[in-house]
Structure 1
Amino acid sequence: MRFIPFLFLLATAACGQDLRTKGLQQPVEVLRDTWGVNHIYAKNEHDLFFAQGYLAAQDRLFQLELWRRQATGTVAELLGPQELKRDVGTRLFMFRPQNLDAELNRYHPHGSQIVRAFVAGINAYVTEINQTPEKLPFEFKTLNTQPGLWTPEVVISRHQGLLSNIRDELNFGRLVHLIGADSLRALQWFHPVATKDRDDKSPDLTLHVDGKGLMQHILGLYEAFRLPIRFSKADKTLGVTMEDDALNRRGKDLDGLKQAETDAWFDAEKQFVGSNNWAISGQKSASGYPMLANDPHRAQSVPSLRYWAHLNAPGWNVIGAGEPTLPGISIGHNDYGAWGLTIFDTDNEDLYVYDINPANANQYRYKGRWETMRTRRETIAVKGQAAQTIKLKYTRHGPVVFEDGPSHKAYAVRAGWLEPGCSPYLASLRMNQARSWTEFRQACLASRVPGENMIWSDPKGTIGWQAVGLAPIRKNWTGLVPVPGDGRYEWAGFLPIDQLPHSENPQSGVIVTANNNLTPTDFPHRDAIGWVWASPSRAQRIEEVLSDGKRKTVSDFMRLQADYIALPARTLVPLLEPLSAEEQTTEQALAYLRKWNYSLDMNSVAASIYVGFEASLRRAFADLTIPADAKPYLKSVPTKRILDWAVSPQLILHQAINRDSLLLACVAQSVADLTQRLGPDMETWVYGQRTNKHITLTHTLSDLVGDEQRKRINLGPVPRGGYSETVNVTGSGLNQEHGASFRIVMDTEDWDRTMGINTPGQSGNPDSPHYRDLFPLWAENSYFPVFFTRKRIEQVTESKMVLKP
């Protein structure tokens, strides 16, 4: 691990640059440091957020333009008819506030002014750059377009938020229909928790709707607006979604491939969208002060989802990262404390099934009467053809996503995130000004989407955890399967956020969250939160390291974020130790595993063998346990089920399967796969290499440009370690497509000790030196210093700029 000691850094500030920018009230000073982070010094709140928007647009203009078009349902206007379904889905699920200012003020008392200032800053830059289109980033020239202006409604769009479990709910309903509730409970890991008034530890999966009807492609419109945009090789001015692009590449059946590709993307999102965060008390740290670390796990991309900024103005002094499309900082620290987030499983989506009036397709039965749907007409511009007018339908529960005319059924999604105050991460604005744990916890009450584990640490000695999120109260069902929309299954309001799980200064001196189930066994509102959580492997490994009796430093925290220990291997590999194989190469592989330390290091041969072995075991276990017709809806089984079987095979599989024979066969399969990919010499099978575990970042327009441009915009490959269950999450594929692009480590004794990273760089423009400058540092699991005081910042200032009215 490498980081840059600040004693050896020299200020490289260029001469100051003054820019006249319409919309400012007073001059704003911007110091850009060596790593491309803007430190913004404003004299008032309006100018602070105006400058944040202006500079985000300067760094991430194409990323912001894609966000704007997705948020407004105007992608087909740019990319053609194959994006029409996306735009229909966007319009169908668009949040339309009755009172925009009231909505914005839910996130902060000055929310309306802040968001409008941020939007004005973006638009100021967009207006400037459109006057000199030759200076636009290459993406706009490639697509022959220009960026458009923003509105506050774009900021509060929910289209790219981490939402909830509607796809799981539909698939669980299908699985109950196909294999029965008991079989599903045996295969899936629903985290059972007894409540005070109910001893039943298994969730109710009774299906009260027609299971056969659930087998249709019900969520097509929902899925369309959630998918990332992909671009076609065929036409530089025409984009397609990833499933259509796959069709072009493979030439297979359209509908089948669309669903397969869609499933792949959502499965990856579900599996790898997570995060780690932890905090320790001063009794656990070398400095004697609380410390905090956070590394959110999202898709690896160029540019990154995250964007660093330092915001300084009267009443504001906060540094960290958020998303370039949002004002404020979602993860970081101010003068008074530090905070971080991971996903906490609140279930705020439900699928309702309705009986439709055979005489009127716009009416559905509710409480014994026919109720008329609300309708809305929208006109969508489509490149290359006439504008399309569409009709959107809504029940009292939400958008109608599918109509089954012959069966007189309709399906609608009730989405909690369409409630007021549910714009993802925007409530961070309140957190940015918290001066204590009490104020921070109060700020958390405005954070409704996504469900998160918010943690806090401060120099006065407090560490705390508060789960947040919109949690509907379901009094008579679990929310795990679709239900009739006839009035029998209604939400009874939402659980107050301060009643979600929380703790302050635990006796252990350690708080760890890694998307695992932290719900207390006596939690009284079990059905208000989710039943499916991440494997506990990451959390257990973090707790193990933090509780080893040694006081921790910032360097220790950085090493822990880069940790490659595979906890499942501690259960599986010892089972192989007494076994022997007839084939020499399989026996040789077993010898590597017997001497292995369970770390998926880049230079380890055993790591390659183990990852192949575990992957083969997962496939074999799925083949043995999941019926063929259920596999499209349950493609794998949780790690816990595999480990339970490994320890007690007779309790899991009814088939007469010899565990040892199966384990040996999976090792042999790993050897065969590695031989085919890496050659016969086992000594060359080191884990981290270009043809094995690596990362390559591919720009979304990579297929539309020539070879030289492609070299400029794509990054890698570089070797990686780890996999999907290490603290340093790098995914289960050979190419790391998910994991921590952003990391931060903070010691509350001295904010200038903060260390961070964000790959591949702060800028999304390949012409910028900050497009790829952080990628080599990140690839080594290394960091740069994140200075907070003006003195330290000036020591590493690369350029100075003054934005003037």
Structure 2
Amino acid sequence: MADETIPVAGLAEPASIVLDRWGIPHIRAESLMDMFFVQGFNAARDRLWQIDLGRKRGLGQLAADFGPGYLEQDRAARLFLYRGDMEREWSSYGDDSRAICERFVAGINAYIGLCEREPERLPPEFAAMGTRPARWQAEDVVRIRSHGWVRNAVSEVVRSNVVAASGAAADLLRQNIEPAHDATAGREVEALPLECLDALELATAPVTFKPERLAARLEDAAAWRKVSPLGEVMREAAAQGSNNWAVHGSRTDTGRPILAGDPHRTHVVPSLRYIIHMSAPGFDGIGAGEPSLPGISMGHNGTAGFGLTLFFGHDQEDVYTYETHPDDPHLYRYGDGWEPMRVLTEKVALKDGGEAELVLKFTRHGPVLAEYPGQRKAIAMRTVWLEPGTAPYFRSIVTMHADSFDAFRRGMAGWGVPATNQVYADISGAIGWVVAGFSPARPNWDGLLAVPGDGRFEWDGYLAAESLPFTLDPPEGYVATANEMNVPDAWHDENRPIGYEWVEPSRAHRIGESFAAEKIHSVESAKALQTDVLSIPARRLCGLLAGVEPEAPEAREAMTLLAGWDHRLSEASAAAALFEVWWTRHLRPAVIERLVPDPASRLLIGLGDVASVIAVLEAPADRMSISDRDRLLAGTLAAAFRTCRTLMGDDAVGWAWGRIHVAHFEHAVGAARDGTSFDVGPFPIGGSESTPMNAAFRPDDFRLVSGASFRMVLDVGDWDRSVCINTPGQSGDPRSPHYADLAPIWAAGDYVPMLYSRAAVDAAAVRTIRLQPVV
């Protein structure tokens, strides 16, 4: 695409956007406020459909564009909007936070105005759906909370059902608890209705465009209260996570620190992340963030590098149950009396020009998720989302300026959501790890089950940020996290637990093995580790087969195929395909079926927690005998071999994990009116949710659902040697050459340069957009 010059009202001085050959924009502005203006303009230039849809979803304004089938999602989103004091909200992020947002949205609105004058600039999704982008307000950036991730309300409700029907041991198969703890001690557990989660699930769900939903009439609105089965929500939550690490110069080939990060989120097109370089007097940084937010949350500023993992184990939400008044369901018991719910009625526009009313209810703890007048019961949720200072990732506008570990840690003290492990490295040679996120202090309960909302169970503020764990220049020469339970033992001895639910530790253990085996690290070794597909679960489970003597010929053939396998889930590996079919489709379900008789509980447990299921198989104890375990292994292995024949043919020589495990980036709209698909893929992929290269998949068809769309490896101090990747491309416009150009590179486990110096950027530049102020 050719260079161009665009006159832009609202810009104070000339600025430019230099695009390199990989679609990474390098903004050059003459002031910080112009820099944020241009960032907003560029976000709209490259991701207008995405950020417009995200804004409408978050504010609860979908029905105005798409009809009554979206009213329930609008209502759910509005329950979780920040509705508190805006002065407290702005001040939580710093004195300039409002000004930054005002300039950022002014840039977005300037590009929308340009599209109104030149409609051909609008991405084709708007024509396909018959909509137009809407103007932004500065408050929109911070009031929308439902794109962030907090936990564990869903788990509390599911736990109540599993424990009530099948006991605490069954629930541990669903979600392991660390540190070990009895969540049900002294309690009679009552199962909460699963549909009480509908509003929460809907508020956080992506927007879908099924024809029947788009055609829904007002009387059909309630039919769209649930957009996905609970099992899908639970599987997606379990697959989210990240890896990051920082290596001291004493352990690198250059003597400089290396910092690496690859957040794992749902795979979509456009990507959830956007890579951008922002430069103005007072700041020069490059990295990734959310396209609808100012600043960057992962990257470097020329002095310090920083990266996050989503998530750390903070438990940031609680479900409350209420006894309601026999004569007025809007009164709930609190203390010795009754307290009224706050009831709001909001009018919303509909696509046909009409209006509808949405009724929103709140207790002192938060939004009312469900009401059961016949049982005199209501259920609500308290979440840090609704507290000042918890706009997801927005604290990055402060932390991206840090030039020392102390400054970074001070900035992270105000980071509310999401709860994260943050790693740090700078040109002085320092490396460190910081826990970030508001962590509620619960004086008299553990947060693992719902509690009465009558005043007996209240938060006592948050754990002091300065008391949260951190590390500076550890003797091991590195810091690394992968969502495992990594709270130091000494910290637990003196403090209440931060949380009990963590991701199973296979990725963390593999990363730890790599650091133990490889004393000197490099950018290349960091790339290799980020794309490592060795499966520790595969190694452990294949080890159990040594004493198995199967009778079925298919089981014997399967054991022959697995013998001598290196346990790497490589895309070309037949053994990898067999193992994942066995583990996912047969062995895990068989263990759950064997140990949990209740069918309803089994549905909620799903495939179970990886660590918990493997622990049962390695040490059956009183749950099953060794001989029973071996028969289970052999029987499911034979069944898996037969399944592989059905999926990939009779000859195992032609099997390959990448034949069935593929990345297909599905666009919400799907296709333009002319039938042109907006989807990207498929690409054969290795790995699984348990490998450092996180590649979680749907068990029904093995299609990838989440993992690292963005990866970066920073050579701290020689910044032009840093590398990164985003997928499927930087742009969200299907007409752009950068819409899908990075996907094949990503699928091959490769990277592109993360150029920083002006000389290196100019040498790789393919297009310059010059922005001129309108006098």
Q: The TM-score by the shorter chain falls in which range?
A: over 0.9
Deviation at 1:234, TM superposition (A): 5.3
Contact 1:58 1:125 in 2 (8 A): yes
Please give the residue correspondences for 1:202-221 in structure 2 after superposition, counting only pairs within 5 Å. Answer: 202-204=182-184, 206-207=186-187, 211-212=190-191, 214-215=192-193, 217-221=195-199
Please give the residue correspondences for 1:154-193 in structure 2 after superposition, counting only pairs within 5 Å. Answer: 154-156=140-142, 157-181=144-168, 183-185=170-172, 188-192=175-179
Q: Hey, what does 1:147 align to over in structure 2?
A: 133
Deviation at 1:693, TM superposition (A): 1.4
Query: Which of 681, 695, 712 is 1:730 aligned to?
Result: 695
Q: Hey, what does 1:561 align to over in structure 2?
A: 530
Q: Hey, what does 1:674 align to over in structure 2?
A: 644
* Aligned mates of 1:593, 1:34 — CA distance in 2: 43
Contact 1:478 1:527 in 2 (8 A): no
Q: Hey, what does 2:389 align to over in structure 1?
A: 421
* Aligned mates of 1:551, 1:485 — CA distance in 2: 54
Contact 1:319 1:329 in 2 (8 A): yes
**3-state SS, counterpart of residue 490 of structure 2:** coil
* Aligned mates of 1:516, 1:40 — CA distance in 2: 37
Deviation at 1:303, TM superposition (A): 0.7
Q: Does 1:587 align with 2:556?
A: yes
One-letter code of the match for 2:618?
V
Q: Hey, what does 1:747 align to over in structure 2?
A: 715
Q: Does 1:60 align with 2:60?
A: no
Please give the residue correspondences for 1:382-421 in structure 2 after superposition, counting only pairs within 5 Å. Answer: 382-384=350-352, 386-421=354-389
Q: Hey, what does 2:112 align to over in structure 1?
A: 126
**3-state SS, counterpart of residue 765 of structure 1:** coil
Query: Which of 637, 643, 655 is 2:614 aligned to?
Result: 643
Q: Hey, what does 1:280 align to over in structure 2?
A: 247
Q: Hey, what does 2:90 align to over in structure 1?
A: 104
* Aligned mates of 2:518, 2:129 — CA distance in 1: 57
Query: Which of 530, 541, 544 is 2:499 aligned to?
Result: 530
Runs of 4+ in structure 1 deviating by more than 6 angstroms, as ranges, are none
* Aligned mates of 1:42, 1:605 — CA distance in 2: 53
**3-state SS, counterpart of residue 330 of structure 2:** strand
Q: Does 1:229 align with 2:207?
A: yes
Query: Which of 219, 230, 236 is 1:269 aligned to?
Result: 236
Q: Hey, what does 1:601 align to over in structure 2?
A: 570
Query: Which of 62, 69, 76 is 1:89 aligned to?
Result: 76
After superposition, the Cα gap between the structure-2 partners of 1:205 and 1:341, relative to the gap in structure 1 and judged at 3 Å, is farther
* Aligned mates of 1:676, 1:186 — CA distance in 2: 30
Q: Does 1:19 align with 2:6?
A: yes
One-letter code of the match for 1:65?
D
Query: Which of 94, 99, 107 is 1:113 aligned to?
Result: 99
After superposition, the Cα gap between the structure-2 partners of 1:430 and 1:473, relative to the gap in structure 1 and judged at 3 Å, is same
**3-state SS, counterpart of residue 352 of structure 1:** strand
Contact 2:68 2:216 in 1 (8 A): no
Structure 1, residues 618-656: CA drift from partner, whole Å, max 9, x if none? 1101111223231233223212222222222224x1579
Q: Does 1:618 align with 2:596?
A: no
Deviation at 1:221, TM superposition (A): 1.8
After superposition, the Cα gap between the structure-2 partners of 1:260 and 1:47, relative to the gap in structure 1 and judged at 3 Å, is closer
Contact 1:40 1:51 in 2 (8 A): yes
Q: Hey, what does 2:414 align to over in structure 1?
A: 446
Q: Hey, what does 2:770 align to over in structure 1?
A: 802
Q: Does 1:333 align with 2:333?
A: no
**3-state SS, counterpart of residue 229 of structure 2:** helix
Query: Which of 614, 631, 647 is 1:661 aligned to?
Result: 631
One-letter code of the match for 1:311?
M
* Aligned mates of 1:802, 1:719 — CA distance in 2: 40
Deviation at 1:578, TM superposition (A): 3.9
* Aligned mates of 2:256, 2:626 — CA distance in 1: 56
Deviation at 1:91, TM superposition (A): 1.6
Q: Hey, what does 1:685 align to over in structure 2?
A: 655
**3-state SS, counterpart of residue 375 of structure 2:** coil
**3-state SS, counterpart of residue 460 of structure 2:** strand
After superposition, the Cα gap between the structure-2 partners of 1:458 and 1:614, relative to the gap in structure 1 and judged at 3 Å, is same
Q: Hey, what does 1:196 align to over in structure 2?
A: none
* Aligned mates of 1:19, 1:571 — CA distance in 2: 60
* Identical counterparts, % of pairs: 36
After superposition, the Cα gap between the structure-2 partners of 1:576 and 1:655, relative to the gap in structure 1 and judged at 3 Å, is closer
Higher alpha-carbon deviation: 604-613 or 571-580? 571-580
Q: Hey, what does 2:540 align to over in structure 1?
A: 571
**3-state SS, counterpart of residue 589 of structure 1:** helix
Q: Hey, what does 1:198 align to over in structure 2?
A: none
Deviation at 1:412, TM superposition (A): 1.1
After superposition, the Cα gap between the structure-2 partners of 1:228 and 1:353, relative to the gap in structure 1 and judged at 3 Å, is same
Deviation at 1:301, TM superposition (A): 0.9
TM-score with structure 1 setting the length = 0.91
Deviation at 1:688, TM superposition (A): 1.3
After superposition, the Cα gap between the structure-2 partners of 1:419 and 1:790, relative to the gap in structure 1 and judged at 3 Å, is same
Deviation at 1:677, TM superposition (A): 1.1
TM-score with structure 2 setting the length = 0.95
Contact 2:571 2:686 in 1 (8 A): yes
After superposition, the Cα gap between the structure-2 partners of 1:206 and 1:136, relative to the gap in structure 1 and judged at 3 Å, is farther
Aligned CA RMSD, in angstroms, stands at 2.1
Deviation at 1:262, TM superposition (A): 3.4
* Aligned mates of 1:312, 1:656 — CA distance in 2: 63
Deviation at 1:424, TM superposition (A): 0.4
Deviation at 1:207, TM superposition (A): 4.2
* Aligned mates of 2:381, 2:140 — CA distance in 1: 22
Deviation at 1:261, TM superposition (A): 2.5
Contact 1:471 1:528 in 2 (8 A): no
Structure 1, residues 583-614: CA drift from partner, whole Å, max 9, x if none? 43432221121110010111111111111121
**3-state SS, counterpart of residue 26 of structure 2:** strand
* Aligned mates of 1:215, 1:99 — CA distance in 2: 35
Q: Hey, what does 1:11 align to over in structure 2?
A: none
* Aligned mates of 2:52, 2:2 — CA distance in 1: 31
**3-state SS, counterpart of residue 126 of structure 1:** helix
Deviation at 1:41, TM superposition (A): 1.0
Higher alpha-carbon deviation: 38-47 or 523-532? 523-532
Q: Hey, what does 1:197 align to over in structure 2?
A: none
Structure 1, residues 489-516: CA drift from partner, whole Å, max 9, x if none? 0111111222111111111112110010
Structure 1 unaligned spans of 5+: 1-13, 194-200, 246-253
* Aligned mates of 2:337, 2:486 — CA distance in 1: 43
One-letter code of the match for 1:456?
Y
After superposition, the Cα gap between the structure-2 partners of 1:187 and 1:263, relative to the gap in structure 1 and judged at 3 Å, is closer
Structure 1, residues 746-796: CA drift from partner, whole Å, max 9, x if none? 111301111000011111111111111111111101001111100111110
Structure 1, residues 558-604: CA drift from partner, whole Å, max 9, x if none? 01111000001221112213434334343222112111001011111
After superposition, the Cα gap between the structure-2 partners of 1:79 and 1:528, relative to the gap in structure 1 and judged at 3 Å, is farther
Structure 1, residues 19-70: CA drift from partner, whole Å, max 9, x if none? 1100111111221111111111111111000000000100001001111101
Matched positions, count: 763
One-letter code of the match for 1:574?
G
Deviation at 1:260, TM superposition (A): 8.6
**3-state SS, counterpart of residue 465 of structure 1:** strand
Contact 1:495 1:528 in 2 (8 A): no
Contact 2:671 2:679 in 1 (8 A): no
After superposition, the Cα gap between the structure-2 partners of 1:459 and 1:742, relative to the gap in structure 1 and judged at 3 Å, is same
Contact 1:181 1:205 in 2 (8 A): no
Deviation at 1:704, TM superposition (A): 6.1
Q: Hey, what does 1:295 align to over in structure 2?
A: 262
After superposition, the Cα gap between the structure-2 partners of 1:604 and 1:181, relative to the gap in structure 1 and judged at 3 Å, is closer
**3-state SS, counterpart of residue 673 of structure 1:** helix
* Aligned mates of 1:598, 1:492 — CA distance in 2: 47
Contact 2:35 2:279 in 1 (8 A): yes
One-letter code of the match for 1:631?
R
After superposition, the Cα gap between the structure-2 partners of 1:125 and 1:540, relative to the gap in structure 1 and judged at 3 Å, is same
One-letter code of the match for 1:119?
V
After superposition, the Cα gap between the structure-2 partners of 1:362 and 1:578, relative to the gap in structure 1 and judged at 3 Å, is closer
